[in-house]
Amino acid sequence: MSDLTRKTAVELRELLDAKEVSAVEVATAHLDQIAAVDDRVHAFLHVDREGALDAARRVDAGEITGPLAGVPIAVKDVVTTKGIPTTAASKILEGWKPPYDATIVERLKAAGMPILGKTNMDEFAMGSSTEYSAYGPTNNPWDLGRIPGGSGGGSAAALAAYEAPLAIGTDTGGSIRQPGAVTGTVGAKPTYGGTSRYGLIAFSSSLDTPGPCARTVEDTALLHAVIAGHDPRDSTSIAQPVPDVVAAARLGLQGDLTGVRLGIVKEFTGEGAEPGVLAAFRESLEALVKLGAEVVEVSCPHFEYALPAYYLIAPSECSSNLARFDGVRYGLRVGDDGQRSLEEVMSLTREAGFGPEVKRRIIIGTYALSSGYYDAYYGQAQKVRTLITRDFETAFSKVDVLVSPTTPFVAFPFGSRTSDPYQMYLADLFTIPTNLYGGPAISVPCGLSEGLPVGFQIMAPTMADDRMYRVAGALESAVGTLTPPAL
């Protein structure tokens, strides 16, 4: 039989249903691939070989059934996993093993999906390249000298390196979609509140959204269906039925978009975007038109303020959320020699435990929330957020979805943007507006530029996740999937 690691989740499930392979064989194949290539990719921070094989044995014994039972998965290291290290790629949580599972992890286990391990990321999900991990960067399987995107570069790279058929990411400003774009994989940000944040180590609570990552649109939709749904433990969780994203993806794969209106955002003029990225986007748009879609230009005048608004709101919320890492209750504790005050121990712990990007954002956020500046910075940013939401609502009264490139550029070389935070932040130029609005968005591979993947972004109204999957499926039917080079 051909290499199991090259199979999609759908193909693996078909083989399992036909009893042609066992879940243990599938898990073992992926664990062996991790052992063979991860010294070069560094997608994983922790591999749970025994846990994955034990879960696979339970599927083989018939204890668990379901559409993804026996299909292995990698989980971003910002999602808590009981008894398995969860560090958020930070020294301040090095070695911490949570006493509980996140809701989405509970749902993965209930679905019979063996968890291969925890993937690398930018520390506390703050970054666009996975260069800010305290445990070293992840390398892009397309070119090991380039970044795999961020913050969820480990999950995307694991897919592109065939170390896992499915992965979990989180998206605060593009951290699922942007890595998907630069690694040639699919990444979806569900509607905010459509997937539970319980057990997610918080960065920006009004923006953080866990979501599915895969190599095909149908696989992504199947995983979305497993992890989505109301959770009473999450106060922001939406108590509504999950849209039928799987049926929508399969409908799209039939290649008919007759009557679907695609909105091109006038303000996304391509400024700062590479010519090759824009060319691949335009070619893909033409392919969707041939499938029956209509293209309409819409104006979203406040999108140009999304980047500065985001970089006030997200750091402000991070400043509040990361105050819990104080060296008292769990994680790293530095300087506790019996001579120092509690305040000194906290300061020393945070100095040693937080990396440069996390410190930068905490400082920005603390300043924006401080007395005398709150209204001028955080308050104003929230007003801009409201205007961006209204732009989306106006646009969606005219079109079914909005489309754009996912990122302005392809994967860049390591070190080329770390010295200039603003240039790094531009990686999320096209993805951030959706996070501020709260709607769903997906990145689908749409071609190559300079031999590297380009992503096509589809944005939909809140709780219309199925709408984006239909267009995503149609795009995949037209342009196909990308095959990373062999490592």
pLDDT tens digits for 278-315? 999 999 999 999 999 999 999 999 999 999 999 999 99
Residue 119 in tokens: 């993937």
Residue corresponding to tokens 């000298």: 145
* Domain ranges (residues) in the chain: 4-249
Residue corresponding to tokens 């943007």: 417
- Rounded to two decimals, the pTM is 0.97
Find the angle CA(464)-CA(206)-CA(457) to the nearest 5 degrees.
Answer: 45
Total residue length of the chain: 487
Residue in 129, 133, 175, 237 annotated catalytic: 175
Question: Which pLDDT belongs to residue 463?
Answer: 98
Residue 249 in tokens: 């993806």
Structure confidence by residue, pLDDT tens digits, 175-197 = 999 999 999 999 999 999 999 99
Q: Please determine, for residue 2, whether its predicted confidence score (pLDDT) is greater than 70.
A: no
79-93, 182-196, 375-389, 410-424: which range is least confident on average?
410-424
Contact predicate 316/365, CB 8 Å: yes
CATH code 2.60.40.790 for 4-249? no
Read off φ and ψ for residue 455, nearest 5 degrees. -110, 145
AA identity, residue 178: Q
Question: Which pLDDT belongs to residue 97?
Answer: 96
Q: Please determine, for residue 260, whether its predicted confidence score (pLDDT) is greater than 90.
A: yes
The verdict on whether 151 is a catalytic residue reads yes
Structure confidence by residue, pLDDT tens digits, 307-353 = 999 999 999 999 999 999 988 888 899 988 888 988 888 889 999 99
Query: What 3-state class would DSSP assign to 151?
Result: coil
Residues 51-57, mean pLDDT to the nearest whole number: 98
Question: Which pLDDT belongs to residue 421?
Answer: 82
Beta-strand ranges (E) seen in 77-131 are: 115-119
Structure confidence by residue, pLDDT tens digits, 225-236 = 999 999 999 999
Contact predicate 264/298, CB 8 Å: yes
Q: Please determine, for residue 369, whether its predicted confidence score (pLDDT) is greater than 60.
A: yes
Residue corresponding to tokens 């560090």: 87
Contact predicate 468/442, CB 8 Å: yes
Residue in 129, 151, 316, 404 annotated catalytic: 151
The verdict on whether 347 is a catalytic residue reads no
Mean pLDDT of the chain: 96
Instruction: Label residue 149 exposed, middle or buried (CB < 10 Å: 0-12, 13-18, 19+).
Output: buried
Beta-strand ranges (E) seen in 50-150 are: 73-76, 115-119
Question: Which pLDDT belongs to residue 339?
Answer: 86
